[in-house]
Amino acid sequence: MINEARLVEPCRSCRTIQLLVRQHYGRSPYWGAVAEVPDALGDSDRVADLARTSTIALLSAFGWSGKVRVNSEIPTRQGRSERLADLAAAIGSTHHLCGTGGLRYLDAAPFDTHGIPVLSFHGPVDDPLWRWARRSSSLWALSKIGPVALADQLTAQ
């Protein structure tokens, strides 16, 4: 489980991530927004902390101002789809977006129980940003079009 995974050398790992991100995205006109993500990592040795921190930094770059909830504090049922549906219901989700990979294993019935429709997510095929989405990262997209345009595209989907 991710909450049990730890880094052997957290300071060195974070520094390596910062250097790699700078190497790959440092020439982007949106470097300031991209740099906030690895710079937020800190020196925790817990992978879960790093995942949470980097996700919040990325969402903040898009202007997100929501509240983070710890999923271990939310009562959920066993089963992959049941757990995800219970988490979605606990945060007041009105829809669940699911990519083609997730649709292969997701059971929509637990979402139906909560009245949460499962929607298939497909990015626009004719847009170069989305054509490579399966092979790229959110930092790549952020570096290509910037936080405002990326947030607009994500909310338009």
Q: What is the dihedral of CA 72, 74, 77, 78, to 10 degrees?
A: -10
107 torsion bin: left (phi>0), alpha (psi -120 to 50), beta (else): beta
Which pLDDT belongs to residue 134? Answer: 64
Q: How far apart are CA 119 and CA 111, in angstroms?
A: 11
Q: How far apart are CA 66 and CA 55, in angstroms?
A: 12
Computed on alpha carbons and rounded to an integer, the radius of gyration of the chain in Å comes to 17
Q: Which two tokens stand for residue 126?
A: 């004719």
Which pLDDT belongs to residue 97? Answer: 87
* Cβ-proximal residues to 20 (8 Å cutoff; 6+ apart), any chain: none
Residue carrying the six token digits 């790959």: 24
Phi, psi of 4 (to 5 degrees): -105, -15
Which pLDDT belongs to residue 133? Answer: 67
Please give the average pLDDT of every successive group of 10 residues along the chain, which has 157 residues: 82 90 93 87 83 86 85 89 95 89 91 95 72 74 88 75
Q: How far apart are CA 127 and CA 90, in angstroms?
A: 34
What stretches of 28-108 show up as alpha helix (H) in DSSP?
A: 31-39, 47-61, 80-90, 100-103
Q: Are 47 and 10 in contact (CB under 8 A)?
A: no
pTM (two decimals):
0.70
Q: Are 18 and 42 in contact (CB under 8 A)?
A: no
